[in-house]
Amino acid sequence: MPYTLPKLPYDYNALEPHMDEETLRIHHDKHHKGYVDGLNKAAQALEKSRKDNDFALVKHYERELAFNGSGHILHTLFWENLAPNAKDKPCGELLAQIEKDFGSYDAFKTQFTKAAAAVEGSGWSILAYHPMLCRLDILQCEKHQNLTVWGCQPLLILDVWEHAYYLKHQNKRPEYIESFWKICNWDKVEARFSHCCKCK
């Protein structure tokens, strides 16, 4: 079965004024679709290689699989991380874990914000849970597949590639990050955290 572009869980204009409709349409319909198309192309090429027992381009298509597959997965999680009328902060077990691992919610938010602003070039800022370590951590992910930690579960994902914000915020990434906090879907993040805790 080919990989498919998921529908957004809200209307294109639902995140206004924090994320504009035009950017959302281009980001989802063009950029995310590009990763899905690249992922399908790489998967099909590797399937053909297996059938033909011809692996001359295996290194190339494994890279394409990692890049486009990571882009597809992170974008899918990112869309779910956004919501109109979102609450200000997490609660319950997730908030308790944040306070345990970062000292306070405000300390976490500051570190996440600074990490997102400091990503070099294109990439992501991610709040992840490590089941083996039983703790939360903030990761900077350059491109999609670089600087990852094996076994970590992404909970909160912020896309800081320029295509995510340039039409509205131009080169003002910190302004875009501040807008993100106003549409952060903490209910979804809490659900992901709860699922991770059950899978220890």
Could you tell me how far CA 138 lies from the centroid of its own chain? 12
> Is 27 known as a binding-site position?
yes
Question: Which stretches of 8-120 are DSSP H helices?
Answer: 21-26, 33-52, 58-80, 92-102, 105-118
Phi and psi at residue 88, to the nearest 5°: -70, -35
Residue 169 in marked binding region: no
CA distances from 112 to 36, 49, 62, 121, 178 (A): 28, 41, 31, 17, 11
Q: Is 159 annotated as a binding residue?
A: yes
**Amino acid residing at 198:** K
- Does 29 show up as a binding residue in the annotation? no
Q: Which residues are CB-neighbours of 175 under 8 A, at least 6 positions away?
A: 169
- List the binding residues: 27, 75, 159, 163
- List the binding residues for Mn(2+): 27, 75, 159, 163
